[in-house]
A and B are shown apart, each in its own frame.
Chain A
Amino acid sequence: MSGRQASLRDPSRVMRLARLGSMHQSRLSFMRILTRRIARENWKFTRTAFDLDELGTGCATYTVEGPERTYSMVAFGHDLPDEMRSDRVIAEAWDATFALFDGVPDETDVERLASNVPLQEAGRYSERELVVSRANRSSRLWEHVVAALAAGAQPDAEQLDAVGYLMRTTAVYGSGKFGAVDYSYIRNRPEFATPFQAEMLLVFLVRAFVLDLVEHVARCRGGGQAVALDRDTARKLGIGNATGLGMAPFIVNHAGLFNNWIAAREEAIRRVRSVPTATGAERALFLDRLKRSEVLVRDWRSGDPVQRAKVDRLQLDLQLIKARIDDGPTGENCPWDRLVEWSEAALSEEGQECLASLILEPYGTLVDELSEGMADPDDGDVRIDGSMSLAETCVLFREHYGWALEIDWTAPKETARAWYISEEKLEPRLGERHEEDIAEFEQPLSPGRDAARAYADLERWSPSESIAAFLLKHPEHRHVIRRAQMCRSAPYAEIHDNTIGAAMLPIDMMRAKLSFFGATHFDPKSDRWVRIRMYAGAPYPGDLDPGNCEDWVYPEQVA
């Protein structure tokens, strides 16, 4: 061991919107953390009820037995007329609705769920429900697959690849929403110690249900001549997700939590960059995942011109990485560090972040344990240290918000947008501040501007005063003072970019969060909503094992 320790990447580099909007899944993505655990602990999956008619209307139950506890998904199928199928989070009817239940539901539980889960946000849930969700069929693909299977044929591979899923979810609600159990109540269970594990478990089960459902409907239609979907084909299919603006504010509102996700990945990158020598096996595994990434990226379609250009460049970047490896840097002398350093000048941000995730692949023993630090034990509740002097506070602001102090906040373009919640939809919205009457309803989602305002007032006070005295006179700065103090122990908490400027793209914030879920195939439909795939390539519940729980994200290479 040379003992060389690489440094963490600086927040001013990592926390830019353009980079956050280029992030990729990794060993520390929530889906992969879950499938790793399921395989390691050998969870047992059982379909305990499947009572649906030829239209897919009815109820099904799937149970999951872990080492200590059992959970159940209760799924309801509905017959939704085509004109009611909408990706909007505010829709009122769906093709299927789901709840993840703590334990095994009895008849009374199922009755209670049947009168609430199909209503989604309009229903009420109890401490027995962990997650509530719903999904719509991809109308284009669903009918094609049902018709083909019913007629005894396999569906057209090109059509399957183009969409990538049979159903997509439009919301997955956990953490106490609509009366469901609080995360604080279940966080001590090892299986939920990492964030969003219950949500990811539900989506994993939804994918299994969707496969069962499409084959069931095809069988009802085709009778004896119907066939099952080819298993390799089925495995390629993920669950789609359509995500709108609602997700973007999350990473600002939960800055301490988001810090822990980024910090875990950055520490993982640092550890791998510090590896002095790569063995042949480690290099081979990296090359394998690199080559399979090419297939993954080739399959990544988007109608969005900006994203398409990024994907094209990423394809080139993957070739450049391969050439760089082939050209010879050996496994000696901190090879991953040298590779990352090279990438900073040679690749696009999309390519750099893809590489940063890829180098973690051979090093599960070094990095997987970092998943244990990704939750936020404080739940965002941080006490302000009132004894801090204003001199110290100003240093803190210059260190973490220096970028914001340089922005001319009087320029209209820097404050062009305002985040608000509409009365009509009760969902986060993004408005044009200078053209609509929304400023008074603005949500606290502009830490940069707020920091600049607070800093201007701080400078008017004597540096020896305490922040406690300052806040007595300036309670309006309390919000951003708390954030600034949080940055002391959470350096990746803040986005180092203007979140209300004319140039801001909300999809960058969504992409950052979704990459930590483990999503792939980001397909922006505008600057403020995006479709993705979850679990594409993953084994189905009963097929997960330690041999396939890790590399399923990367498609097998086609000869």
Chain B
Amino acid sequence: MSRSLNEVETIAWKATRGAGYPWGIAEEAAAAVRWLAGRGIDGCPPLASLLERTDGSNLEDWSPDPGEIWTAPGGVLCPLMAGAALSDHARQVQQCGLEFGRMASPVLFLPFVGRAAAGIGAILQVTWPGGSSFTDGKGLALPGDPGLDFDGLLVAVSREMPEARPGAGRASPDSQAWDRLGEFACRVHAPASEASRRFGAGGADGIDGD
């Protein structure tokens, strides 16, 4: 089904929050999935798979510990937590590059590289075993599908920017992934209760009197 970028962004926002992430990270996830959609990449399957993996676990286990190589205490990095850290440490990337350990759903990391690139006004290259991508913040050059897990990756400034993927104004998310995200998104909705009805939570209960 053809969807607007706004719809994709909204479901990612709600689903990420529904899976237990803080609102600020849910905002990053929403922007990331929208950024990918605008470059013709469906971020819904990697996000659904990530949320299923991290669901119910301690986020700290998936969050990066700064070091020579930024790794997760639990062994696998969450691309949202690692991506947010990368974006926040963009200046450090400019100086010496940053190396990250094993990462889940790594395609979700790329929009954060884009954010960092835009923030410092540089082209950034991400290199992993078997492939690489480039972004100047606007465009994304990504040959092939990066797959589900990277064993590690390096983000560094690049001098070249290969031809970027064509932009897209609509998204066609995988329907199964969409439904899985929908289930996470439902968790942010409060079940109706007698109390909420009694307190008149919504207000506009007016039947047309005139």
- Known contacts A176-B6, A245-B204: A423-B22 contact under CB 8 Å: no
A184 CA to B4 CA in the complex, in Å?
Answer: 10
A184 CA to B171 CA in the complex, in Å?
Answer: 14
Contact A526 B203 (CB under 8 A): yes
A429 CA to B4 CA in the complex, in Å?
Answer: 25
A386 CA to B115 CA in the complex, in Å?
Answer: 12
Contact of A182 among B5, B81, B88, B90 (CB under 8 A): B5
- Known contacts A127-B169, A182-B169, A383-B119: A436-B196 contact under CB 8 Å: yes
A149 CA to B37 CA in the complex, in Å?
Answer: 54
Distance in Å from the Cβ of A444 to the closest Cβ of chain B? 4
- CB closest residue in chain B, given A528: B203
Which residues in window 185-210 of B have CB below 8 A to A?
A: 186, 188-193, 195-196, 199-210
Is B48 interfacial (CB-CB < 8 Å)?
no
- CB closest residue in chain A, given B186: A423
Contact B22 A244 (CB under 8 A): no
A281 CA to B85 CA in the complex, in Å?
Answer: 59
Distance in Å from the Cβ of B209 to the closest Cβ of chain A? 8
Q: Which residues of A contact B205 (CB under 8 A)?
A: 88
Q: Is the contact region of chain B dominated by helix, strand, or loop, or is it mixed?
A: mixed
Distance in Å from the Cβ of B3 to the closest Cβ of chain A? 6
Q: Mark A438-475, 1 if CB is under 8 A from B, else 0.
A: 10010110000000000000000000001111011001
Is B122 interfacial (CB-CB < 8 Å)?
no
Q: Which residues of A contact B203 (CB under 8 A)?
A: 244-245, 430, 506, 526-529
- Known contacts A468-B89, A472-B85: A436-B195 contact under CB 8 Å: yes
- CB closest residue in chain B, given A142: B210
Is A520 interfacial (CB-CB < 8 Å)?
no
- Known contacts A478-B22, A478-B25, A528-B202: A126-B2 contact under CB 8 Å: yes
A525 CA to B205 CA in the complex, in Å?
Answer: 10
Contact B81 A475 (CB under 8 A): yes
Interface residue count on the B side (C-beta < 8 Å): 53
- CB closest residue in chain A, given B116: A383
Distance in Å from the Cβ of A183 to the closest Cβ of chain B? 8
Contact B204 A141 (CB under 8 A): no
Contact B22 A476 (CB under 8 A): yes
Q: Which residues of B contact A218 (CB under 8 A)?
A: none
Q: Which residues of B contact A383 (CB under 8 A)?
A: 87, 115, 118-119
A85 CA to B84 CA in the complex, in Å?
Answer: 48
Q: Which residues of A contact B154 (CB under 8 A)?
A: none
Contact of B201 among A139, A431, A437 (CB under 8 A): A431
Q: Which residues of B contact A435 (CB under 8 A)?
A: 195, 199
Interface stretch (choices B49-57, B58-66, B138-146, B157-165): B58-66
Contact B199 A432 (CB under 8 A): yes
Q: Which residues of B contact A381 (CB under 8 A)?
A: 31
- CB closest residue in chain B, given A138: B210
A381 CA to B114 CA in the complex, in Å?
Answer: 13
Q: Which residues of A contact B169 (CB under 8 A)?
A: 127, 182, 184-185
Contact B196 A127 (CB under 8 A): no
A381 CA to B115 CA in the complex, in Å?
Answer: 10
Contact of B24 among A89, A244, A426, A476 (CB under 8 A): A476
- Known contacts A124-B1, A420-B190, A478-B24: A177-B6 contact under CB 8 Å: yes
Which residues in window 94-121 of B have CB below 8 A to A?
A: 115, 118-119
- CB closest residue in chain A, given B205: A88
Q: Which residues of B contact A245 (CB under 8 A)?
A: 202-204
Contact B202 A444 (CB under 8 A): no
Is B27 interfacial (CB-CB < 8 Å)?
yes
Q: Which residues of B contact A468 (CB under 8 A)?
A: 85, 88-89
Which residues in window 3-29 of B have CB below 8 A to A?
A: 3-7, 21-25, 27-28
Contact A386 B189 (CB under 8 A): no
Q: Which 6 A-B pairs have the closest CB atoms?
A: A478-B24, A386-B88, A176-B6, A528-B203, A244-B204, A176-B4
| A contact residues vs B (CB 8 Å cutoff) | 85-89, 124, 126-127, 136, 138-141, 163, 175-185, 242-245, 381, 383-387, 420-427, 429-432, 435-438, 441, 443-444, 466-469, 471-472, 475-482, 506, 525-529
With A429-B201, A441-B190 known, 18 other A-B pairs at CB within 8 A are A86-B206, A88-B202, A88-B206, A89-B204, A136-B208, A184-B5, A184-B169, A245-B203, A384-B88, A387-B90, A423-B190, A429-B202, A436-B195, A438-B190, A468-B89, A475-B59, A479-B22, A480-B24
